[in-house]
Amino acid sequence: MGYMGDYSMCICFPKKFGVTEAGPPVDVKEVFMKYATGGGSGMTVEQLRRFLVEVQGDVEASMEDAERIVEEVFKRRHNNVKLPELALSLEDFQFYLFCVDLNPPLLNKVHQDMTAPLSHYFIYTGHNSYLTGNQISSDCSDVPIIKALKRGLRVVELDLWPNSSKDDVLVLHGWTLTTPVELIKCLRSIKEHAFSASPYPVIITFEDHLTPDLQAKVAQMVIQTFGNMLFCPPESDCVKEFPSPEELKYRIVISTKPPKEYLEDKNLSSRGSNSLKDKDSDEDTWGRMSADLTNDDDKSDCDASEHSQCDGDNEACDQLLRPLGAPAYKNLISIPAGKPKGKLREKLKVEKDKVRRLSLSEQKFEKATVCHGTDVVRFTQRNILRIYPKGTRVNSSNYNPLIGWMHGAQMVALNMQGYGKPLWLMHGMFGSNGGCGYVKKPDFLMNVGPNDQVFDAKAKLPVKKILKVKVHMGDGWHLDFKQRYLNLWSSPEFYTRVGIAGVPADKTMKKTKKRKGNWTRVWDEEFTFQLTVPEIALLRIEVHEYNMSEKDDFAGQTCLPMSELRPGFRAVPLFNRKGEKYTSLRLLLRFEFVQVDI
């Protein structure tokens, strides 16, 4: 079945069910009559400007802004902008309100402060960015990397492995059947497409399974490929504070574990290549799958010691290896990663004059939030926390990213080649701030109160804001779906689901009544949502077509960040299951915020 199932022909309809244009909703008529010239004969440029300021909340709207809208409407509807006096009719006004590019729900520009350290931002992050499909047998390629960068992704993950002759570096998902791609090909594609959607830095995280000589080769590839685009940290044994996105504009940043600068000992080489499989790795590799399923992620003791792995961080590995300098590779690392020894709380320890990146699987992170939630928030105020999907997600499914964001995690890594609700939320979150891939964390995640007090996601909070959403109408299904999915001989029954994704107290989903009629659907139903943490809440919208005999058919979805939602009447575009925008499909909604005195 496709995005919408094939509609069965209904013999009760002797005539083909035509596509007719619905008239303006009642609220649109009323607001037009209020602002238009006497009797509602037409809305002048000045009257439109007043509407933009008083209803749409565009307090800085100028006469030039209103004039541009009127001229664009006349150009598109009447192919004429040279009329003596331009005034919008009711139909022109509705056309404007329903234009996504003229009347979008979000600001399409970067407007947040971009001068704070990287740790102050949520960053658009991918997991195993090179995979085209599942985690076991799909091809590795630069194509999904290019696609993700064009969408605005800012953190690309590459798993580095030696080739069979140990003289070159490949990118693949280790210990699986995935076909590899050459590292140099991935690096060149990143260089070409890194800033196609955003000028802010692209961070490449290496999961490194290489020997020192191949690390040196990687350093040479990186330097030769990126040249002056590459950001290298000041010479120092540690990074004391991360630079800002503004400082790093149009730069490539490398993040991985600093090499232990070891040379394989004779005793190590005799153990076979598998001994290096977890070197400098902060991922759950497939070679560790069985151990992962029985390690401390599944134990009730929150402070149980982690299962011992030879990942370059424990004493067993240290005894098998001896030092060898590899300064070129080490000097490329601007965001050092690493897992300190000890229990989970010790891994989250904040060091006074040193910052780093810590990676946790979704299971370990969930355990950390249960047992040490405020420690996680405190850690992410200065350091960077990356969360990645558990190893059993073989079909490239994803976890709920909101649990990471509500604890301040910057790099919530999802499988971008998959699709489903977690990825819809990801797309919605990073529609913020002009879609630049960096979203400033809300103040409550950065504030420190008396006695070193920070935000506690478990605390019961009062309602801070109320959102009213009125679902007026939708249109475009006959244009986007007709050739493959729709049968124009029958009348569809569309309904819209509207709800909130956010902290548990705010999570809810409601739906309109089913409306049967022509392909332009009118609902005119209003919903009210009470929000305790509106700063990270997302407005979820789905449209479905009622199917009496089968599961209701999907007919579009979108997620919108509450913090950036513009009030008033707004045209909201819809997307398919994979997050790709439909050409014509959109809804007309009205948003109203009510501030609550606490």
Backbone angles phi, psi at 221, to 5 degrees: -60, -45
> Both 126 and 178 in a single domain?
yes
Spell out the SS3 assignment of 345-359.
HHHCCCCCCCCCEEE
- Per the structure, the complete domain to which residue 508 belongs is given by 460-594
The amino acid sitting at 227 is G
> Both 574 and 480 in a single domain?
yes
> Both 71 and 171 in a single domain?
no
Residue 289 counted as domain residue: no
Backbone angles phi, psi at 285, to 5 degrees: -80, 160
> Both 583 and 446 in a single domain?
no
Query: What sign does the dihedral 82-87-89-91 (CA atoms) show?
Result: positive
Angle at 401 between CA 424 and CA 139, to 5 degrees: 70
Inter-CA distances, 346 with 68, 341, 375, 376, Å? 58, 8, 10, 11
Spell out the SS3 assignment of 188-249.
HHHHHHCCCCCCCCEEEEEEECCCHHHHHHHHHHHHHHHHHHECCCCCCCCCCCCCCCCCCC
> Hey, what are 549's tokens?
């005999």
Within 10 angstroms of residue 462's Cβ, the number of other Cβ atoms is 9
Model's pTM, two decimal places?
0.87
What secondary structure letter does DSSP report for 136? T
Give the N- to C-terminal CA distance of the chain in Å, as an integer.
49
> Hey, what are 438's tokens?
């960096």
Give the integer Cα–Cα distance in Å for 284 and 93: 55
Give the integer Cα–Cα distance in Å for 509 and 498: 6
Which of 64, 98, 132 is the C-terminal boundary of a domain?
Answer: 98
CATH code where residue 82 lies: 1.10.238
Query: What is the number of structural domains in the chain?
Result: 3
Give the integer Cα–Cα distance in Å for 48 and 73: 12
- Per-residue pLDDT of the chain (598 residues), as tens digits, is 343 433 333 333 333 444 556 678 999 999 999 999 876 789 999 999 999 999 999 999 999 999 999 999 999 998 875 655 778 999 999 999 999 999 999 999 999 999 999 999 999 999 999 999 989 989 999 999 999 999 999 999 999 999 999 999 999 998 888 899 999 999 999 999 999 999 999 999 999 999 999 999 999 999 999 999 999 988 767 889 999 999 999 999 999 999 874 343 333 333 434 333 333 345 544 434 333 333 343 344 454 433 333 333 333 333 333 334 457 899 999 999 987 788 888 999 999 889 999 999 999 999 999 999 999 999 999 999 999 999 889 989 999 999 999 999 999 999 998 789 999 999 999 999 999 999 999 999 999 999 889 999 999 999 999 999 999 999 988 888 764 454 445 567 889 999 999 999 999 999 998 876 666 778 999 999 999 999 999 999 999 988 776 688 899 999 999 999 999 999 999 999 999 999 999 999 999 999 887 6
> Both 367 and 232 in a single domain?
yes
Residue 518 counted as domain residue: yes
Residue 424 counted as domain residue: yes
Q: Give the residue numbers marked as catalytic.
A: 127, 173
Cβ(96)–Cβ(126) below 8 Å: no
Instruction: Strands of 401-492 (E only): list them.
Output: 411-414, 438-440, 465-475
Which of 46, 69, 98 is the C-terminal boundary of a domain?
Answer: 98
Spacing of C-alpha 386 from chain mean position? 14
> Both 253 and 371 in a single domain?
yes
Residue 579 counted as domain residue: yes
Cβ(125)–Cβ(384) below 8 Å: no
Instruction: Strands of 280-324 (E only): list them.
Output: 321-323
> Both 431 and 546 in a single domain?
no
Residue 499 counted as domain residue: yes
> Both 439 and 464 in a single domain?
no
Within 10 angstroms of residue 423's Cβ, the number of other Cβ atoms is 22
Residue 402 counted as domain residue: yes
CATH code where residue 387 lies: 3.20.20.190
Give the integer Cα–Cα distance in Å for 124 and 412: 8
Residue 93 counted as domain residue: yes
Residue 113 counted as domain residue: no
> Both 570 and 497 in a single domain?
yes
Within 10 angstroms of residue 263's Cβ, the number of other Cβ atoms is 14
> Both 403 and 483 in a single domain?
no
Which of 432, 451, 470 is the C-terminal boundary of a domain?
Answer: 451
CATH code where residue 560 lies: 2.60.40.150
> Both 464 and 490 in a single domain?
yes
> Both 77 and 204 in a single domain?
no
